[in-house]
Structure 1
Amino acid sequence: MILVSFIDFLLVVVPVLIAVAYLTLAERKVMSLFQRRKGPNLVGPMGILQPFADALKLLVKEIVIPVQANKKMFIVAPIITLCFSLLGWVFIPLREDVLVSDINVSILFTLLVSALGVYGIVIAGWSSNSKYSLLGAIRSAAQMISYEVSLGLIIIATVIVAGSLNYVEIIMNQEIYWNILSCFPLLVMFYISAVAETNRPPFDLPEAEAELVAGYSTEYSGIGFAMFYMGEYANIILISCITVILYLGGWWGFILFNQFSFVVKLSFFLIAFVWVRVAFPRFRYDQLMRLGWLVFLPVGTGIVLFNSGIIYGLNI
């Protein structure tokens, strides 16, 4: 049974890693279109083999460990980050019959894995024994914890409307109409919080090149840097999948396009991540914290209370 579950997990993780590789290529291509320049176009036809060339380059590069670093923790940190980013895929249903496992509180498991992902980044910043890495790790921890609070409230408000904590049941309840019709403000808040949670521009304060070189991953090279990179992009795809499940009906689509509905919706949100990176300048750190604690927290709390009152009143 354990072997079967592990094989099922690999059947989900391997396509995710391939998707991560080609998401990096798609991001560079889309950014080049926005900026009127050519993206990667030399390795393979139209640059389609560029992700494999980048992966090979990172795998063969020397792993440099700073002399004064805590070597064991320095090595473990990127492994923790990548493992937790892949563990979140266990309960994600791409189709009704395509998921590794299914429990009644799958959303809570996703929030748990998301919260534990902070540890890898904090350990990386501390173990590097570098001021830039430590500052990036502190920024990332504060930012991720802050926006996990708002994400939790937004998800609670959505769950109250959906009536379940299980991803499959939430999707099945959207067969007639999608949650975006009744929860559009929650979708906007969820998407902004997701961008901040994944440390993506314009909320990339932990990796601010102008101040912190590369943030918590400054001292990493080779496979260690690649693991952080893969973890970040796996989280981007994961949070986009959750957005599609919660608000856009999951695999439900139009009559002729039902088979590819999930992929089309997922691609839309992934391209939106790239568009936000190109279109908006980086926020200041005080603006980032103010948005999370003084806007999303009270608004999310108010929506939770409002939705609870409406559902309770209708049940009466």
Structure 2
Amino acid sequence: MTRAQLLVDDPIWLILIKAVVLLLLGALMTMFMIIWERKVVARMQHRPGPNRVGPNGWLQSIADAIKLPFKEQIIPDTADRKVYFLAPIMSTIPAFLAFSVIPFGPEVSIFGERTVLQLVDLPVGVLVILACSSMGVYGIVLAGWASGSPYPLLGGLRSAAQVISYEIAMGLSIVAVILYTGSLSTGDIVDAQSSGWYFYLLVPSFLIYFVSMIGETNRAPFDLPEAESELVGGFHTEYSSMKFALFFLAEYVNMVIVSAFATTLFLGGYMAPWPLSQINDNMFNTGWWPVLWFFAKTFFFLFVFIWLRGTLPRMRYDQFMRLGWRILVPANLVWIVLVVALRAFRNEASISPTTILVAGGIVLLLLIGLSFLLPERAVSDPGDQSVPVTGGGYPVPPLDLQIPAKPSDKPVRPRRARRERAAVGAGPEKESEQ
């Protein structure tokens, strides 16, 4: 029986078990990721890290989860209360929904019932994951707007621009995988990699997706919506208690989702790595072994998330947007054209290499023309008296900046100045005037 037929025949009790396991998986992975990230970063920075709660500090996340519900909830007077409460929920629910279409393993037996370790196998599963990962930005934008404060609003707007930019690059990086597979189903993508994983067959797509998933999840060095030095804390500055915990939960669940999605797209999903896949008639690709391989690959990507946070500094906002729009998106488009041309040349004998070269030349000329149409950065004249501009486009005032007096400014009379000070409570005025 096929994967879809097995899932259709699942009884209701088995569907409920899968749904509960997926909900628990998101919460447990978040608790583990928080303590694991703190310990890994502490080891990188040569400090102890959490070591007080539980054996070697491994129960610190449980202590945090117990503490957060009892924290005081502070709601700003200027907040829109309905949207303020709705925003964390809108960020969390789509993150959990994406688990439903990810295949964690092949056909197994659960209490005597043959099934697949996947909740649903939709023919558009890839689009479901992309939609769920991009829906979280609505909660972030609404949280920034509903807080009634400028810094959360700026963080929410940053996140919207960031997710839109890198969602385009992420979607384009999956196009080559879909072309090779011929399906949008996540299960079909895993099955199509039985002859070779896509991370080395489609290297540009893998690299672009890897950069895009870090930008999509607002993680360092792309955590600009939460930049403490610029935005105090970002879109969740005015949140506390469980609502703040929901934003944290959504962030870490999204990290698990994009890592599991990268495993499904480029690392063969639940398939065993090369040496083990050739042992004893493919024994390690059957039963419950594939679940181990799937989570091992997923934890590799999660470790890279932590590694980048502990080593790379935060990028400037203009550098981050330039990376997405001027490098990732054009490179994706060129790579898609090359993949389509090579597959057409391999499948259709009537297409000659000359046709492919001509098409590639036309695309190259179009890209060169677009590069000339892009506005160039203005270069200030050394003799100019204007405010100098740094390489990032941020104006910096000169060191000898002086504010000139306006011609219309008149000296303030002493009696008027004393009256103004008395009006604001500066103290009693003397009766005698000098």
TM-score by length of 1: 0.97
Unmatched tracts of structure 1, length 5 or more: none
Q: Map residues 174-253 of structure 1 onto 2, 5 A cutoff.
A: 174-253=193-272
**1:141 and 2:151 are equivalent in the alignment:** no
Q: 1:100 pairs with 116, 119, 124, which one?
A: 119
How far apart are the structure 2 equivalents of 1:128 and 1:3? 42
Give the C-alpha shift of residue 185 in structure 1.
2.0
**1:14 and 2:46 are equivalent in the alignment:** no
CA contact under 8 A between 2:204 and 2:335: conserved in structure 1? no
**1:296 and 2:315 are equivalent in the alignment:** no
Give the C-alpha shift of residue 6 in structure 1.
4.8
Deviates more, 1:90-99 or 1:145-154: 90-99
How far apart are the structure 2 equivalents of 1:99 and 1:130? 42
Give the C-alpha shift of residue 7 in structure 1.
4.5
How far apart are the structure 1 equivalents of 2:139 and 2:68? 20
How far apart are the structure 1 equivalents of 2:153 and 2:31? 28
**1:123 and 2:155 are equivalent in the alignment:** no
AA aligned opposite 1:235: N
Counterpart of 2:309?
Answer: 277
CA RMSD, Structure 1 to Structure 2 (Å): 1.4
Give the C-alpha shift of residue 162 in structure 1.
2.4
AA aligned opposite 2:346: L
Q: 1:263 pairs with 269, 285, 295, which one?
A: 295
Give the C-alpha shift of residue 5 in structure 1.
4.1
How far apart are the structure 2 equivalents of 1:204 and 1:180? 26
- Of structures 1 and 2, the one with the larger relative CO (CA 8 A, separation 6+) is 1
Secondary structure of the residue aligned to 2:104 is coil
AA aligned opposite 1:126: W
Q: 1:31 pairs with 41, 58, 69, which one?
A: 41
Deviates more, 1:1-10 or 1:256-265: 1-10
**1:86 and 2:118 are equivalent in the alignment:** no
Give the C-alpha shift of residue 176 in structure 1.
2.3
AA aligned opposite 1:154: S
Q: How many residues get paired? A: 316
**1:46 and 2:78 are equivalent in the alignment:** no
Counterpart of 2:338?
Answer: 306
How far apart are the structure 1 equivalents of 2:12 and 2:161? 37
Q: 1:6 to 1:125 in 2, by over 3 A?
A: farther
Deviates more, 1:222-231 or 1:84-93: 84-93
Counterpart of 2:132?
Answer: 113
The share of aligned pairs that are identical, in percent, is 41
How far apart are the structure 2 equivalents of 1:32 and 1:187? 29
Unmatched tracts of structure 2, length 5 or more: 1-10, 107-115, 349-434
Larger of the two Rg values belongs to structure: 2
Task: Render the CA deviation track for 1:256-304: whole Å, top value 9, x for unaligned.
Answer: 7652211211111111001111111110000000000000111001111
CA contact under 8 A between 2:31 and 2:61: conserved in structure 1? yes
AA aligned opposite 1:62: E
CA contact under 8 A between 2:54 and 2:60: conserved in structure 1? yes
Counterpart of 2:432?
Answer: none
**1:163 and 2:195 are equivalent in the alignment:** no
CA contact under 8 A between 2:170 and 2:213: conserved in structure 1? yes
Task: Render the CA deviation track for 1:41-98: whole Å, top value 9, x for unaligned.
Answer: 1100011111110111111112211111000100010011000111111101111211
How far apart are the structure 2 equivalents of 1:79 and 1:112? 16
How far apart are the structure 1 equivalents of 2:295 and 2:130? 23
How far apart are the structure 2 equivalents of 1:162 and 1:26? 35
Give the C-alpha shift of residue 2 in structure 1.
7.3
Task: Render the CA deviation track for 1:23-46: whole Å, top value 9, x for unaligned.
Answer: 011100100111111111110001
